[in-house]
Amino acid sequence: MVLADGEGLESVWIAHRVGCSRDLARRWRARYQTAQQTWGAAAAEWDAEALAGKIEEALADDYRCGAPGKFVSEQFCQIMAL
C-alpha cells in the first residue's frame, strides 16, 4: 500500500491492487501520510534501515485490550488438552 501510495494511486486503486477494502486502504494511506508529516526534513537523512523502521512503527497496529477473557487459565488448559 505504501509503494502504491508513492506511485500516486488513489485509495480505490490501491485497494483493488492489494485486494482489500477501500476503507482499509484509505486508513493505512492516511496513517502513512500523517507519519510522513511528523518526520519532516529529518527523514531525508535516514538510511534505508531507519526509514523502514519508521514506516513499520507508523503502520503497526495499536494495542487493543478487547473484552475480558471468558475462561480462567485452568479451563483454557482443559480445552487445549481436548
> What is the chain's Cα-based Rg?
19
Q: Residue 4 contacts by C-beta under 8 Å, 6 or more apart in sequence?
A: 13, 14, 17, 18
**What is the model's pTM?**
0.62
More confident: 82 or 54: 54
Residue-wise pLDDT tens digits, 35-67? 889 998 888 899 999 988 998 888 887 777 777
Predicted confidence at residue 23, as pLDDT, reads 92
pLDDT at 80 exceeding the cut of 90? no
Place of cell 509503494: 3
Residue-wise pLDDT tens digits, 12-41? 998 998 899 999 889 888 888 898 899 988
